């Protein structure tokens, strides 16, 4: 190995591989390389090791992140894959975001994680990078950052947790967390049971075991061609299969580095069409929409081409075929055991663009052919044929109307009372989550089962908690829940967990916190009309009245900074990351990314 050759001043440093890559940040490229090697040798690496392709491994382990509890074992297996194939694996950390331990919201931190990921991949001399992640916001952040950094990136998904068991029935985070909590609120189960359930809902490390956001994004990552079809999205976090995926990812990273398979060179509009087809076919999380838009907009050639309309159009021709909670009944382990992604993609073949490229250099069609798959009884139980779907089409639909001129989203397939998908009712309005918490269970609240529950102020900026908190699953008022009401039409500018269900309209844009928002001026008693079939969401007010209300509110917002209700607190400029966030965040239809991070954002 040519240590001396690296210091031969008469020869340029070329090619830029491993330790040789990087800007001549000390002005003198030979001296820069000399210094890099001085310092890395302090960790004990030999010239031989340092002459290999260098594969970075991003470590997102954290004591606060049980969804990433298996990351240490995954790193070990991925390193083995890299090193068996002649490379040098070097791990490094980025931030770690868990849903339950990210105040005010994990979404608030997603863009920060994407910046951390992008800049660390760019900064360090890696030829390719394995990015390990699983929990909801992590993989989107890593794909966003990875596409922007544009070195070969290989996602390695941590994998779903196993289901737990309670009195002989299977349970799992977190659809069953919500169902059981709702049952507890309605006095259907007692405090003994709810505390016993708490022990069993998340029985192993790994991501939520239903078709929530984490599982959704894992399936979309497979559709984008970035992870192995067999097991890459579905193998349980605690399985030996998951470790073999990690080893395989190490081997794939060496090949991707050698052929410089960067995300911008692999991903095309067709890849995103495939991802949206899969999103609709699995009854995926509404969060998947926001993330996909943000991911697509990081790609210079795809930016702006994938919109809410694309999601709706593809939905109209895509049936929901996967029977998993919250739209269906089963768990991710069932999908895995039924043949997983190869079985699913085989069913979806006629709807997929099979010539889209994958990280291995094969097309999606070639990768599928190579897998081959023979269906068995469990397959058709969990993955329905196209002509006998769980829901005929448009499991996720996009609505427009005067309160959502830039769109709103509903997971129609997860509605519990289907008649609510065409509904007209009186608005009961809450100005932010605090107001909701204060009044929702008030016995005097003027509400019945035909009312439309409206929660304002939980959009990207929001009244008090930025990042679209997952508060869109507005609880059924306790007095109605006690009478057995299980679903109502609910509207917000926020998000809901991918594990949740109900007749819930989300991501209303522009959000209530913006002065021009019509959603922000909806008042108690206004009549709301929603028609999912016609993709329509309206408040029954004439334009003049809307104009008057918006103008009046704008004046209020602009004339005073403090001392008003929660709706106005955001007007005070914030410092630090929150300040950056509030100045730069875009609305839901643009993926809630920062304006300066998209491919069309400010120049590098
Ligand atoms: Fe991490 Fe659900 S909390 S995936
Ligand atoms: Mg979630």
Instruction: Name the strand (E) or helix (H) holding 379.
Output: helix 377-382
Please compute the mean of the pLDDT values over residues 147-159 and round it to a whole number.
Answer: 98
Q: How confident is the model at residue 13 (pLDDT cuts 50, 70, 90)?
A: confident
Would you give the distance in Å from CA 485 to the centre of its chain? 30
- 218 and 287 in contact (C-beta within 8 Å)? no
pLDDT of residue 561 exceeding 60, the answer is no
What distances in angstroms separate CA 201 from CA 174, 213, 214, 501, one per listed residue?
A: 7, 17, 16, 18
Angle (deg, nearest 10), helices 213-223 and 340-348: 60
Asked if the ipTM is above 0.90, the reply is yes
48 CA to middle of ligand 1, Å? Answer: 41
What would the two tokens of residue 442 be? 């008030």
In terms of DSSP bridges, do strands 490-492 and 54-59 run parallel, antiparallel, or are they unpaired? unpaired
What distances in angstroms separate CA 111 from CA 99, 103, 119, 275, one per listed residue?
A: 14, 14, 12, 21
Give dist(CA 160, CA 139) in Å, integer.
Answer: 13
- 327 and 414 in contact (C-beta within 8 Å)? yes
What would the two tokens of residue 499 be? 């594990």
Residue 226's closest CA among 344, 147, 281, 298? 147
Res 250: pLDDT: 98
Which is the closest atom of ligand 1 to the Cα of 66?
Answer: 1
Give dist(CA 537, CA 149) in Å, integer.
Answer: 39
In terms of DSSP bridges, do strands 88-93 and 54-59 run parallel, antiparallel, or are they unpaired? parallel
- 129 and 152 in contact (C-beta within 8 Å)? yes
Res 19: pLDDT: 87
- 473 and 178 in contact (C-beta within 8 Å)? yes
Give dist(CA 121, CA 304) in Å, integer.
Answer: 25
- 595 and 601 in contact (C-beta within 8 Å)? yes
Which is the closest atom of ligand 1 to the Cα of 136?
Answer: 4
The 10 Å Cβ neighbour count of residue 168 is 5
510 CA to middle of ligand 2, Å? Answer: 23
Res 562: pLDDT: 44
Q: How confident is the model at residue 146 (pLDDT cuts 50, 70, 90)?
A: very high
- Length of the chain as a residue count: 604
What does the longest C-alpha to C-alpha distance in the chain come to? 85
Instruction: Name the strand (E) or helix (H) holding 408.
Output: strand 404-411
**Which ligand approaches the C-alpha of residue 173 most closely?**
1
Which is the closest atom of ligand 1 to the Cα of 98?
Answer: 1
pLDDT of residue 23 exceeding 80, the answer is no
What would the two tokens of residue 600 be? 């069309």
**Which ligand approaches the C-alpha of residue 97 most closely?**
1
169 CA to middle of ligand 2, Å? Answer: 22
Which is the closest atom of ligand 1 to the Cα of 214?
Answer: 4
pLDDT of residue 510 exceeding 90, the answer is yes
| Residue of minimum CA distance from atom 2 in ligand 1 | 208
Rounded to the nearest 10°, the torsion over CA 576, 469, 522, 401 is 100
Task: Spell out a b/e string for 436-453, using b for 16 or more CB atoms within 10 Å of the CB, else e.
Answer: beeebeeeeeebebebbb
Would you give the distance in Å from CA 350 to the centre of its chain? 26
Protein residues with CB under 6 Å of any ligand 1 atom: 67, 98-99, 135-136, 207-208, 212, 214
**Which ligand approaches the C-alpha of residue 284 most closely?**
2
Which is the closest atom of ligand 1 to the Cα of 208?
Answer: 2
Give me the chain's average pLDDT, please.
Answer: 94
pLDDT in tens, 77-119: 999 999 999 999 999 999 999 999 999 999 999 999 999 999 9
Res 498: pLDDT: 86
What would the two tokens of residue 449 be? 């089962």
- The radius of gyration of the chain from alpha carbons, rounded to an integer in Å, stands at 25
SS in 3 state form for 486-532? CCCCEEECCCCCCCCCCCEEECCCCCCCCCCCCHHHCCCCCEEEEEC
12 CA to middle of ligand 1, Å? Answer: 48
Please compute the mean of the pLDDT values over residues 337-343 and round it to a whole number.
Answer: 98
| Residue of minimum CA distance from atom 3 in ligand 1 | 99
| Residue of minimum CA distance from atom 1 in ligand 1 | 135
98 CA to middle of ligand 1, Å? Answer: 7
pLDDT in tens, 452-484: 999 999 999 999 899 999 999 999 999 999 999
- 236 and 336 in contact (C-beta within 8 Å)? yes
Reported pTM: 0.96
Res 383: pLDDT: 97
431 CA to middle of ligand 1, Å? Answer: 28
Res 5: pLDDT: 84
175 CA to middle of ligand 2, Å? Answer: 10
Q: How confident is the model at residue 487 (pLDDT cuts 50, 70, 90)?
A: very high
């Amino acid at each position: 190995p040519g240590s001396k050759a690296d210091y031969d001043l008469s020869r340029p440093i070329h090619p830029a591989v491993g330790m040789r890559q990087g800007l001549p940040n000390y002005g003198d490229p030979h001296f820069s390389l000399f210094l890099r090697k001085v310092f890395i040798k302090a960790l004990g690496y030999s010239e031989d090791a340092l002459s290999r392709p260098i594969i970075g491994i991003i470590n997102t382990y954290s004591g606060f992140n049980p969804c990433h509890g298996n990351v240490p074992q995954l790193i070990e297996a991925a390193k083995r894959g890299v090193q068996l194939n002649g490379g040098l694996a070097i791990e490094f950390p980025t931030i770690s975001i868990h849903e339950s331990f990210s105040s005010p919201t994990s979404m608030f931190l997603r863009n920060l994680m994407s910046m951390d990921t992008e800049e660390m991949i760019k900064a360090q001399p890696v030829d390719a990078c394995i990015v390990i992640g699983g929990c909801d916001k992590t993989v989107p952040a890593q794909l966003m950052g990875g596409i922007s950094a544009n070195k070969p990136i290989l996602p390695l998904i941590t994998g779903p947790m196993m289901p737990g068991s309670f009195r002989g029935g299977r349970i799992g985070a977190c659809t069953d967390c919500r169902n059981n909590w709702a049952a507890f609120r309605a006095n259907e189960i007692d405090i003994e049971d709810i505390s016993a359930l708490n022990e069993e809902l998340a029985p192993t490390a790994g991501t939520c075991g239903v078709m929530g956001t984490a599982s959704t994004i894992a399936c979309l990552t497979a559709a984008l061609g970035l992870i192995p079809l067999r097991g890459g999205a579905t193998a349980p976090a605690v399985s030996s299969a998951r470790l073999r995926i990690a080893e395989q990812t190490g081997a794939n990273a060496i090949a991707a580095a050698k052929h410089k398979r960067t995300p911008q060179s692999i991903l095309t509009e067709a890849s995103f069409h495939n991802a949206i087809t899969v999103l609709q076919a699995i009854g995926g999380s509404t969060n998947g929409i926001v993330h996909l838009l943000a991911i697509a907009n990081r790609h210079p050639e795809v930016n702006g081409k994938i919109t809410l309309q694309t999601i709706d159009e593809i939905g109209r021709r895509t049936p929901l075929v996967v029977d998993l909670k919250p739209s269906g009944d089963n768990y991710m382990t069932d999908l895995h055991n039924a043949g997983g992604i190869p079985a699913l993609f085989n069913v979806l073949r006629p709807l997929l663009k099979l010539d889209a490229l994958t990280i291995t250099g094969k097309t999606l069609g070639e990768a599928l052919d190579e897998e081959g798959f023979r269906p068995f009884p469990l397959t058709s139980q969990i993955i329905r044929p196209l002509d006998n779907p769980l829901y005929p089409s448009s499991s996720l639909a996009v609505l427009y109307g005067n309160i959502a001129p830039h769109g709103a989203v509903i997971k129609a397939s997860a509605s519990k009372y289907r008649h609510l998908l065409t509904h007209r009712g009186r608005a009961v309005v809450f100005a932010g989550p605090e107001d909701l918490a204060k009044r929702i269970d008030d016995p005097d609240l003027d509400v019945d089962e035909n009312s439309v529950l409206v929660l304002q102020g939980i959009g990207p900026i929001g009244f008090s908690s930025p990042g679209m908190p997952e508060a869109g699953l507005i609880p059924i008022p306790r007095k109605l829940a006690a009478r057995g009401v299980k679903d109502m039409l609910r509207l917000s500018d926020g998000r809901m967990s991918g594990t949740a269900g109900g007749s819930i309209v989300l991501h209303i844009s522009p959000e209530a916190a913006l002065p021009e928002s019509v959603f922000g001026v909806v008042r108690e008693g206004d009549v709301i009309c929603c028609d999912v079939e016609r993709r329509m969401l309206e408040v029954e007010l004439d334009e003049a009245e809307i104009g008057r209300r918006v103008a009046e509110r704008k004046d209020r917002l602009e004339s005073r900074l403090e001392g008003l209700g929660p709706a106005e607190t955001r007007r005070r400029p914030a410092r630090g990351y929150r300040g950056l966030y509030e100045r730069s965040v875009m609305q839901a239809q643009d993926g809630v990314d920062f304006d300066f991070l998209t491919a069309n954002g400010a120049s590098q």
